[in-house]
């Protein structure tokens, strides 16, 4: 599960936990992007190091959740296809890429080498909102036909929450795990004025 994790929040861990249980995954790697290829991080964002620290704190209580700095160490723009190639070379050859609604919708238009991605990994999609489900189903069918993707749509209780909303509203205690909220406060991240 890749992400900017700016900051990581309860929706990320909840989504990952449901996918893991539904598909019987051994582990979920949480991979913070170095430079996201699809967006500019807003002013007032946490640094890459801070985003990594927060993901480490978020995954610490779970034995199935693993922090990976593979994209940060590679540097540059973080293309998912490069990450999947590298994981395959390390011997991980049974991979599932966990993505949310927005990411699936833009998958064949905005991602680098989507055909190769779906050869290297199955996709597991978690809906962020119940309204998303019919749209996701149509998109999944299209991608399965167009590129022979293997896609699982995972039904799970959704937390309609985004990192943007967490930052804007400053709802760290409510929406991020306690150690992450404490880290944000201690380091004075996302002060008023951040987008
Ligand atoms: P993010 O905001 O940190 O979120 C990480 C993932 O969790 C996303 O798929 C997101 O889905 C999902 N998510 C967030 N909140 C959720 C919630 N409440 N319930 C369920 N799921 C939730 O990360 P991001 O900036 O969207 O990036 C996702 C990954 O896609 C990154 O690894 C990025 O590098 C990769 N990507 C790669 C390319 C490329 O290779 N060309 C292009 C674009 C993205 P949503 O999609 O719904 O936000």
Rounded to an integer, the average pLDDT of 54-73 is 98
3-class DSSP state for residue 148?
coil
Residue 4: phi and psi, rounded to 5, are -80, -30
Please count the CA atoms within 13 angstroms of the CA of 182 that sit on its side-chain side: 5
- For residue 84, the CA-to-ligand 1 centroid distance in Å is 15
Residue 28: phi and psi, rounded to 5, are -120, 120
Picking from 36-40, 62-66, 77-81, 156-160, which range would have the lowest pLDDT averaged per residue?
Answer: 156-160
Supply the pTM of this predicted model: 0.95
- How confident is the model over 22-32, as pLDDT tens digits? 999 999 999 99
Residue among 3, 79, 126 whose CB has most ligand 1 atoms within 8 A, to mutate:
3
Whether the CB of 45 sits within 6 Å of ligand 1: no
Whether the CB of 2 sits within 6 Å of ligand 1: yes
- Alpha helices in the chain, H assignment, sequence order: 10-23, 48-59, 70-74, 80-89, 101-105, 107-110, 114-120, 132-147, 163-169, 172-175, 178-186
pLDDT band at 116 (very low <50, low <70, confident <90, very high): very high
Residue among 1, 2, 96, 154 whose CB has most ligand 1 atoms within 8 A, to mutate:
2
- How confident is the model over 170-195, as pLDDT tens digits? 999 999 999 999 999 999 999 875 55
The Cα 41–Cα 35 span in angstroms is 8
**Per-residue pLDDT at 89 exceeds 70:** yes
Q: Whose CA is nearest to atom 39 of ligand 1?
A: 111
- For residue 33, the CA-to-ligand 1 centroid distance in Å is 10
Q: Which pLDDT value is given to residue 160?
A: 84
pLDDT band at 168 (very low <50, low <70, confident <90, very high): very high
Residue 92: phi and psi, rounded to 5, are -85, 100
**Per-residue pLDDT at 11 exceeds 90:** yes
The Cα 106–Cα 125 span in angstroms is 13
Look at the block and give the residue holding tokens 């149509």. Answer: 138
């Amino acid at each position: 599960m890749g992400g900017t994790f700016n900051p990581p929040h309860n929706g990320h861990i909840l989504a990952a936990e449901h996918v893991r249980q539904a598909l019987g995954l051994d582990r979920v790697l949480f991979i913070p992007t170095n430079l996201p290829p699809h967006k500019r991080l807003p002013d007032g964002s946490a640094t890459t190091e801070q985003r990594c620290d927060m993901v480490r704190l978020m995954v610490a209580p779970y034995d199935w959740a693993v922090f990976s700095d593979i994209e940060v160490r590679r540097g540059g723009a973080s293309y998912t296809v490069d990450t999947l190639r590298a994981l395959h070379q390390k011997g991980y050859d049974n991979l599932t890429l966990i993505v949310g609604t927005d990411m699936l919708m833009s998958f064949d238009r905005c991602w680098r080498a989507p055909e190769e991605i779906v050869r290297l990994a199955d996709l597991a999609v978690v809906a962020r909102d119940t309204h998303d489900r019919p749209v996701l189903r149509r998109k999944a069918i299209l991608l399965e036909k167009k590129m022979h993707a293997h896609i699982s749509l995972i039904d799970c209780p959704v937390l309609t929450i985004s990192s943007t909303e967490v930052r804007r509203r400053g709802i760290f205690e409510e929406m991020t795990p306690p150690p992450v909220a404490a880290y944000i406060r201690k380091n004075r991240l996302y002060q008023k004025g951040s987008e």
